[in-house]
Structure 1
Amino acid sequence: MTLPVWTLQDRIAKARNHAGLNQGELAEKLGVSRNTLNRWENGNRNPSVKNLQALAEATGVPLDWFYQEDNSEPALHPPLPERITLIRDGNGYKAEL
């Protein structure tokens, strides 16, 4: 028996769930309405490449995972912090989250 391959819509919802976000929270991080995100997850609309990049960053999922043709789980990366501050010390710069 062959399992159906996850669609882009399935992957968007799966990435959101992996990040532990509801639609409203993720939509806010992306700067889109909850209705827009809902349309992406329902397949009524497709996100732009720019929005997919933002989705990948916000959820910690690699961008290429949205385009894979198998049902593999994403190799999750921690979401990028909202802001990184560089601090100069005697040895150069270091990041402070």
Structure 2
Amino acid sequence: MDTPFGDIAARIRWHRNLLGKNQTEYAELIGVKRTVLNNWETGRQRVSLDGALLLRAKFGLSLDFIYAGIDDALPMSLRNALLESPIEIS
């Protein structure tokens, strides 16, 4: 992805798709506007610390995973899902 935050965008999009949610549903689950989530998922805007903390609190996504792609601190169920369905950065 040719955007400044494409790698972060791909990880968030991967997780949303893993849950089978559309952007509106996922945004509602974490308490942000769909337009904010869309900006994260397109890589136009980097996830704020507050946004990353919401993702961590709701889904157990570690900040290391969100920002750097390090999966060590993810719950085992998410690590297994990542192995089964790797993140595609386009």
Higher strand share: 1
Aligned to 2:34: 34
Q: Displaced runs of 4+ in structure 1, greater than 6 A? A: none
Normalising by the residue count of structure 1, what TM-score does the alignment of the two structures yield?
A: 0.57
Tell me the percent identity.
33
Q: Which runs of 5 or more structure 2 residues have no equivalent in the other structure? A: 1-5, 78-90
Number of positions where the alignment pairs a residue of Structure 1 with one of Structure 2: 72
Aligned to 1:75: 74
Normalising by the residue count of structure 2, what TM-score does the alignment of the two structures yield?
A: 0.61
Measure the CA separation in 2 of the matches of 1:46 and 1:20: 23
Structure 1 residues 61 and 69: CA distance shift in structure 2, 3 A: closer
- The Cα of 1:36 is off from its aligned counterpart by 1.3
Cα RMSD, aligned residues only? 2.8
Q: Which runs of 5 or more structure 1 residues have no equivalent in the other structure? A: 1-5, 79-97
- Larger Rg over CA atoms: 1
Query: 1:8 aligned to 2:8?
Result: yes
Deviations 1:20-71 (A, max 9, x none): 322111111222211110111001112211111111232332222113356x
